[in-house]
Amino acid sequence: MGYLRNGQWHDQWYDTDTTGGAFVRDTSKFRNWVTADGSAGPSGRDGFKAESGRYHLYVSLACPWAHRTLIFRALKGLTDHIGVSVVHPDMLGEGWEFRTDYPGTTGDTLHDLAFARDLYTRADPDVSGRVTVPILWDTKRDTIVSNESAEIIRMFNSAFDAITGNTDDYWPTDLRDAIELVNARIYDTVNNGVYKSGFATSQQAYDEAVGPLFETLDWLEERLSDNRYLMGDKLTESDWRLFTTLIRFDAVYHTHFKCNRARIVDYPNLWGYVRELYQWPGVAETVNFDHITRHYYYSHDMINPHRIVPTGPVLDLSAPHGRN
């Protein structure tokens, strides 16, 4: 695992020496938007117009951030319009690789590149920063549109509606303020909270992450006791953003990231909610537990030096959810 500095690869784990042992996530570098008419969107350059077959998504099936984009691609009827390449689950000294010697990988189906970092330097030969997935690639301008999942899902939510005829809206105007508030808490304490717990290299940094994580899970359990979804009756992007962390929790974060005060199966409402979202049409096909467990346990040898991938747990995600 490493990063690019002025286009050169450096194999180095996250630096927590200067932050008291705390993991601090980088901000994403490529922030353009695909829009229905090609106008610039909230940030970045213009000219990325929604067109069938023009864009390609690079994902890891292990990654919760990439998983959001795969879910939106499925929910919004985009599978015939946006292609996908799947990296190898092992993220080692070279970063994400397009090796195909593992079931479920595809290689780079557009350019046959070896590493995800080759996409970054193709888009910007002088780029600096971590090489993360998801990556939304534009085949027309031969560059990265965006590597920020929170923004990619908003593009998918509406930009292609005239092409697909699918107008389902997971970011409705009247709920945006409420969505923003809930997203902010869940991002900091849950989506990123599990990483801050797991990548902490001091007791204090771990304690400061794991406490708020379980406070938020308790709060969510309560909220979901009389709300079917986070915003009440309406399923929104907040639910999908939460789902990709919850679905990995018992298999990975509980053990590997030491988030072990409780499992999701111990929370009746959260567990029913995860099952309902898993059973949503098109979603189960985006969940790959083999890539999920293999990636975390095998890639992070600073946490799991012998790279042993544990067998459990057995989760019955297709059991009736009882949420209706």
Ligand X SMILES: N[C@@H](CCC(=O)N[C@@H](CS)C(=O)NCC(=O)O)C(=O)O
Residues binding ligand X (CB under 6 A): 1, 28, 60, 63, 65, 130-134, 147-150
Q: What is the CA radius of gyration of the chain?
A: 19
Residue list, annotated binding site: 96, 130-133, 148-149
- Residue closer to ligand X (CB basis): 94 or 218: 94
Active site residue 63: yes
d(CA 210, CA 193): 7
Could you give the strand order of the β-sheet that contains 3-5, starting from the edge strand earlier in sequence? 8-10, 3-5, 129-130
Residue 165 backbone class (left: φ over 0; alpha: ψ -120 to 50; beta: rest)? left
Q: Kindly state the smallest distance separating residue 63's Cβ from ligand X, in Å.
A: 3
Burial status of residue 65 (CB atoms within 10 A of its CB: 0-12, 13-18, 19 or more): buried
Find all residues with CB under 8 Å of 69, minimum gap 6, and list them: 57, 59, 134, 136, 149, 152, 153, 156
Residue list, annotated binding site for glutathione: 96, 130-133, 148-149
Q: Kindly state the smallest distance separating residue 132's Cβ from ligand X, in Å.
A: 3
- Residue closer to ligand X (CB basis): 130 or 291: 130
Q: Which of 55, 63, 253, 267 is catalytic?
A: 63
Q: Kindly state the smallest distance separating residue 130's Cβ from ligand X, in Å.
A: 4
Consecutive H or E run containing 136? strand 135-138
In contact, 35 and 158? CB cutoff 8 Å: no
d(CA 28, CA 217): 26
- Residue closer to ligand X (CB basis): 190 or 224: 190
Alpha helices in the chain (DSSP H): 64-75, 116-123, 149-158, 161-164, 176-186, 193-199, 203-223, 237-248, 268-278, 289-299
Q: Kindly state the smallest distance separating residue 232's Cβ from ligand X, in Å.
A: 26
Active site residue 273: no
- Residue closer to ligand X (CB basis): 117 or 275: 117
- Residue closer to ligand X (CB basis): 133 or 205: 133
Catalytic residues: 63, 195
